[in-house]
Amino acid sequence: MLTEQEILNIANSEIKRIENDSKIETVLINELIIKKPYGNIFFYTSKKYYETRNEKYAVAGNAPFLVEKETGNIVVFGTAHTEDYYIEEYEAGRWPNNRGLD
């Protein structure tokens, strides 16, 4: 089982990977982290949007992701529904293998 710090380190590594792919500086939104017994769910946005709240710096497609406490695996949720939907689907064992629905 991973510690909170190890989970956070994995999340920060994922953010760096996203930055490298998108070429947009991003930040985790610490006040939105959802802690569950099976892991933590993280949200992120562009650093400029987080600092300014100016819509021109908002990013699309920044789906929340779960870092599993047991394995350290990253499970990316979608953006078509609320985070509650994805949490319920994950907890029911239907996400990420949910017949192509997102």
Measured from the Cβ of residue 97, the count of other Cβ atoms closer than 10 Å reads 8
Does 101 score more than 60 pLDDT? no
**Residue 79 neighbours by CB under 8 Å, 6+ apart:** 60, 61, 62, 63, 102
Residue ranges covered by each domain of the chain: 4-77
* 64-82 per-position pLDDT tens digit: 999 999 999 999 999 999 9
- Of 32-36, 56-60, 68-72, which range is least confident? 56-60
> Against a cut of 0.95, is the pTM above it?
no
CB atoms within 10 A of CB 102: 12
